[in-house]
Amino acid sequence: MLILTFTLILLAGAYMAGLVGSLTGLGGGVVVIPLLTLVFHIDMRYAIGAALVSSIATSSGSASAYVKEGITNIRVGMFLEIATTIGAVCGALIAVYTPVNFVAILFGATLIFSAAMTLRKKNEHADMEGSPLAEKLKLNGSYPTKDGVIHYKLKNVGGGFSIMTLAGVLSGLLGIGSGALKVLAMDTAMRIPFRVSTTTSNFMVGVTAAASAVVYLQRGYIDPGIAMPVIIGVLAGALTGTRLLMRINPKKLRLIFSIAITIIALQMIYNGLQHKF
């Protein structure tokens, strides 16, 4: 295949990845890895490098829009980033000793979990009772809505912190943002309203990915010939996705994409078990 043809096909694929990633809220990375490994038979390590780059691109790209709305809780994000960045660096270190096929199986499992998470019932409720630790760390916050400012308080800071460490390890190992796990920690464990947890998770994805991306860049995982169409394609796709979200109800789309992503995930697990990577 010519480099020109490869770049153009990859550009179109990355555009779709960015579009699906932003519509489902899973981020661009989750679609980039199967696209590169299953369709182009590219080595898993180059795919992880490309996924990291697209995770940062989608996070920074949409964060600038989210920040304007004033929903992101910077303190919660910063505090939990201690967990995710340490996790991510550990993940990047473990990656050297982890067989590629195992990484593929783990990726498939994470993907199925993430797809299921996009369909679950969301925590719209703002809790009025918080824990003393949340008070001490100044994690409680508020966000504006049409009906006025809503105040919320947090619980189970330790539990959320532990899940975040795991999210960081997975992110460092697989190159994806593992936003689903981050939202789980904030929604389910810490009882943060989902509008806040989604945008705060998005803020954290970029920082977490950057922590391990530096290590992967030095290891040669990020190849310019792959990274270039991926960055441009994913960003353009994510921008289209954000615009579309304002006009359509993504509920039905989410269901369709979640089923498609689960099928892709099963294919990744199958190939991993067959040692095809």
Partner 1 sequence: MHPVKKLKMKANNKAIINDRNIEVFIGQTLRIGVILSCAVALIGGIMYLLHHGMQTIPDYTTFHGEDASYTSLPGIIKGLGTGSATEIIQLGVAILIATPILRIVLSLVSFILEKDKLYVVITLIVLGVIMTSMFGGLKV
Residues near partner 1 (CB under 8 A) are 1-4, 6-7, 40-43, 45-46, 53, 56-57, 59-61, 63-68, 70, 72, 74-75, 78-79, 81-82, 85-86, 88-89, 92-93, 96, 137-138, 206-207, 209-215, 217-220, 222-229, 231-232, 235
**Which residue, 96 or 249, has its beta carbon nearer to partner 1?**
96
Query: How buried is residue 129: exposed, middle or buried, by Cβ count under 10 Å (0-12/13-18/19+)?
Result: exposed
**Which residue, 46 or 107, has its beta carbon nearer to partner 1?**
46
- Quote the tokens at residue 265: 């995930």
**Which residue, 6 or 113, has its beta carbon nearer to partner 1?**
6
| Strand stretches in 101-182, DSSP E | 141-145, 148-152
Helix/strand/coil for 241:
helix
Query: Taking every pair of C-alpha atoms in the chain, what is the biggest distance, in angstroms?
Result: 61
Give the whole-angstrom CA distance, residue 11 versus residue 214.
Answer: 24
Q: How far is the CB of 10 from partner 1 (least distance, A)?
A: 10
Q: How far is the CB of 258 from partner 1 (least distance, A)?
A: 27
Q: How far is the CB of 103 from partner 1 (least distance, A)?
A: 12
Q: How far is the CB of 107 from partner 1 (least distance, A)?
A: 16
Q: Find out whether 170 and 51 touch, Cβ atoms under 8 Å.
A: no
**Which residue, 41 or 121, has its beta carbon nearer to partner 1?**
41
Give the whole-angstrom CA distance, residue 11 versus residue 80.
Answer: 34
Q: How far is the CB of 112 from partner 1 (least distance, A)?
A: 26
Report phi then psi at 138, rounded to 5.
55, 40
**Which residue, 186 or 261, has its beta carbon nearer to partner 1?**
186
Angle at 166 between CA 215 and CA 140, to 5 degrees: 110
Helix/strand/coil for 146:
coil
Q: What is the DSSP letter of 120?
A: S
Q: How far is the CB of 26 from partner 1 (least distance, A)?
A: 18
- Quote the tokens at residue 276: 């095809």
**Which residue, 131 or 212, has its beta carbon nearer to partner 1?**
212
